[in-house]
């Protein structure tokens, strides 16, 4: 049975041990499962523990979801949409509690946690309003005009597994679950073992909103155990996490012949062209690189600046970065919060120290801040980075960014594309049309013009995903909903079997059909 522990940090929030006990009690397992401590990075202190579900527990959760799914799928889509709209309202109503839980589990600044809380209701409204039309039956031309027709129907795939990471534990547990539920699927979510509490709080709110019991389940535990078991049980898997884990997920899904979407890492470029407003670009760089202490898959980690504006940009960017406050408070105030844990702090430290050893210059930050919090690290700007150093090649996923001068837009584009990743990029220019033209040359799933990432992420009606090692499939927009349905074609003939009528000479029939096919192809070209 999961338990909460005495914590000095809890006292600073509106979260009680009773609430945590109620949330963790939602997880059902067999007897004698080991427990995983949930620790808050705010003080490196245990606040609760959850069971390490084994494959049998995961199979039970999937089966429960499968049983609950049929009645949910049979409800009219408008009713399902209404439940999700109510859920969106509840996320707004319980905002303060949810913010506390997100901050407790991640240590992020409150205004960064707020981005998560604001995002979920928007996603609910988008799918509730637009989903019914996207999934409505479609009439197609069919095999032979007048003689036949075809209707396409969209049916839920069944049970969707959502495997989510720790960095945006609220948004990333829900953004893939909402369209799956709207389509009539059940969902079983496996949150990261460091951040299960917010997923449990969301499961609670979904039920309050009217989602039938069992339609949204949670399994907790280690990814290497619970993850594969989940993939073995479900009909689709929506995964967000690192690229190497993504490959393992795709392999397993492939073996089971189920489809998957993979939202993976990035090494995102930001391009500052010679006609950009450098003050605006510097503000964008601060927002992009240091939101959630850089633990954001869309964050820029490489900034290419036209050499004619390089000094000016650096002055503005370094000045703005040095003025950022690092802090841990359960209220609005500090600009940047904590990293998730000690291992991650070590990775960030190694990237920066390795770059400096290889000759990079440190213009801001470059230090851990144990005086502020056990895993806090200063927003860091590097220049003169050796292209072979880890910070230049690997995703740091921390508050660290390199700035590089380039001769012109062509070099900026070439450098931006010189990576196996392709998640997000941004182009900064005084001419938006030029920005859009440059965007088409960048190999990324999202390219934002004059904004680091929000304008792309918050466009919930537009697909979002990665090229190359950044992933497969798309979330958001109609694409994010259609991945969860099987298309079925119902084709009808008005004249019986589409074949030569009885008694007709086969040679004559072949000539007639060839002629008709040629006429049809010409008509199609003339009448689009
Ligand atoms: P991981 O890939 O380690 O973990 C992501 C999730 O996968 C966790 O729930 C984890 O469980 C689970 N998992 C681990 N092993 C397996 C397995 N073998 N099979 C199935 N599931 C498994 O990533 P991180 O947690 O380190 O997240 C950071 C990474 O995610 C970064 O690289 C970042 O870029 C990427 N990311 C991408 C986003 C996007 O939208 N493209 C958004 C956010 C992050 P557990 O940890 O509990 O073991």
Compute the distance from residue 161 Cα to the ligand 1 centre, in Å. 14
241 lines ligand 1 (CB under 6 A): yes
Give 176-188 pLDDT, tens digit per residue. Answer: 999 999 999 999 9
pLDDT band at 528 (very low <50, low <70, confident <90, very high): low
- 285: part of which helix (H) or strand (E)? helix 278-290
For residue 216, give the nearest of 192, 191, 187 by alpha carbon.
Answer: 187
Ligand 1 centroid to 246 CA: how many Å?
A: 8
- Give the bridge partners for 402, in sequence order: 302, 382
Nearest CA to ligand 1 atom 25: 165
Compute, in angstroms, the gap from residue 108 CA to the centroid of ligand 1: 18
- Pocket of ligand 1 contains residue 149 by CB under 6 Å: no
Band (6; pLDDT cuts 50, 70, 90) = low
pLDDT over threshold 70, residue 171: yes
pLDDT tens-digit profile of 269-319? 999 999 999 999 999 999 999 999 999 999 999 999 999 999 999 999 999
pLDDT higher than threshold 90 for residue 122 = yes
- The conformational region for residue 32 under phi > 0 = left, psi -120 to 50 = alpha, else beta, is left
* Ligand 1 atom 15: residue of nearest CA: 223
Mutate to test the pocket of ligand 1, among 51, 196, 245 (most ligand atoms within 8 A of CB): 245
pLDDT tens-digit readout, 306-319: 999 999 999 999 99
Residue 166 CB less than 6 A away from ligand 1: yes
* 263 carries an active-site annotation: yes
- The Cα 96–Cα 85 span in angstroms is 19
Task: Give percent of the chain above pLDDT 90.
Answer: 92
Confidence of residue 2 (pLDDT cuts 50, 70, 90): very low
Looking at residue 346, what is its pLDDT? 98
Ligand 1 geometric centre to CA of 139 (Å): 40
The pLDDT of residue 501 is: 86
Q: Give per-residue pLDDT as tens, 424-435.
A: 999 999 999 999
Shortest CA distance to 62 belongs to which of 258, 226, 238, 246? Answer: 226
pLDDT at 494 over 90: yes
CA nearest ligand 1 atom 24, residue: 241
| Contacts of 189 by beta carbon, 8 Å cutoff, 6+ apart | 161, 162, 163, 164, 173, 177, 199, 203, 216, 217, 218, 219
Sorted by where each begins, the domain ranges of the chain are 53-264+479-485, 269-459
Using DSSP bridges, classify how beta strands 186-190 and 159-163 pair: parallel, antiparallel or unpaired: parallel
Q: From the CA of 242, how far away is ligand 1's center (Å)?
A: 5
Q: Which pLDDT score is estimated for 3?
A: 45
Q: Which atom of ligand 1 is nearest to the CA of 265?
A: 34
> Tell me, what's the pLDDT at 45?
95
Ligand 1 within 6 A of 245 CB? yes
Please determine, for residue 29, whether its predicted confidence score (pLDDT) is greater than 90. Answer: no
Q: Which of 224, 202, 227 is nearest to 215 (CA)?
A: 202
Question: Average model confidence (pLDDT) for the chain?
Answer: 96
Q: Using the 8-state DSSP alphabet, how is residue 221 labeled? A: S
Q: pLDDT digits over 206-227, tens only?
A: 999 999 999 999 999 999 999 9
**3-class SS at 22?**
helix
How far is it, in rounded angstroms, from Cα 403 to Cα 280?
A: 16
Q: Is the CB of 193 under 6 A from ligand 1?
A: yes
């Amino acid at each position: 049975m999961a338990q909460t522990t005495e914590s000095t940090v809890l006292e600073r929030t509106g979260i009680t041990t009773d609430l945590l006990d109620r949330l963790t009690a939602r997880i059902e397992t067999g007897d004698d499962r080991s427990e995983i401590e949930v620790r808050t990075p705010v003080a490196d202190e245990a606040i609760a523990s959850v069971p390490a579900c084994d494959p049998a527990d995961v199979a039970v959760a999937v089966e429960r979801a499968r049983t609950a799914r049929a009645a949910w799928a049979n409800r009219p889509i408008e009713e399902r949409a209404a439940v999700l709209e109510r859920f969106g309202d509840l996320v707004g109503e319980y905002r303060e509690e949810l913010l506390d839980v997100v901050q407790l589990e991640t240590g992020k600044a409150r205004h960064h946690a707020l981005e998560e809380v604001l995002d979920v209701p928007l996603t609910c409204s988008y799918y509730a309003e637009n989903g019914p039309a996207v999934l409505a039956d479609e009439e197609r031309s069919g095999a032979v005009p007048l003689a036949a027709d075809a209707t396409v129907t969209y049916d839920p795939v069944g049970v969707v597994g959502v495997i989510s990471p720790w960095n945006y534990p609220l948004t990333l547990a829900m953004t893939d679950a909402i369209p799956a539920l709207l389509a009539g699927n059940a969902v079983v979510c496996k949150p990261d073992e460091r951040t299960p509490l917010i997923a449990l709080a969301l499961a609670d709110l979904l039920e309050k909103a009217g989602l039938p019991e069992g339609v949204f389940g949670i399994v907790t535990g280690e990814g290497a155990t619970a993850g594969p078991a989940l993939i073995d049980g479900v009909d689709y898997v929506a995964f967000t996490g690192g690229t190497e884990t993504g490959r393992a997920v795709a392999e397993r899904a492939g073996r089971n012949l189920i489809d998957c979407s993979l939202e993976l890492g990035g090494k995102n470029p930001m391009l500052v062209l010679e006609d950009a407003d450098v003050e605006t670009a510097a503000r964008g760089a601060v927002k992009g690189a240091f939101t959630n202490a850089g633990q954001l898959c869309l964050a820029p980690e490489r900034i290419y600046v036209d050499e004619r504006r390089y000094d000016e940009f650096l002055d503005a960017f370094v000045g703005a970065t040095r003025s950022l406050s690092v802090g841990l408070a359960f209220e609005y105030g500090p600009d940047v919060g904590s990293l998730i844990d000690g291992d991650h702090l070590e990775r960030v430290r190694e990237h920066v120290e390795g770059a400096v050893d290889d000759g990079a210059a440190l213009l801001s930050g470059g230090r851990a801040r144990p005086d502020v919090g056990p895993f806090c690290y200063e927003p860091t700007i590097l220049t003169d980075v050796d292209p072979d150093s880890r910070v230049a090649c690997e995703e740091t996923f921390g508050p660290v960014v390199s700035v590089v001068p380039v001769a012109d837009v062509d070099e900026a584009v070439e450098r931006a594309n010189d990576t196996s990743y392709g998640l997000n990029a941004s182009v900064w220019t005084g001419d938006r049309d030029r920005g859009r033209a440059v965007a088409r040359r960048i190999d990324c799933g999202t390219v934002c013009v004059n904004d680091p990432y929000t304008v792309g992420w918050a466009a919930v009606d537009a697909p979002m995903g990665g090229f190359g090692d950044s992933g497969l499939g798309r979330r958001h927009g109609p694409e994010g909903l259609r991945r969860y349905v099987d298309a079925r074609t119902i084709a009808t003939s008005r004249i019986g079997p589409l074949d030569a009528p009885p008694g007709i000479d086969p040679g004559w029939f072949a000539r007639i059909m060839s002629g008709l096919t040629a006429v049809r192809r010409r008509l199609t070209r003339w009448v689009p």
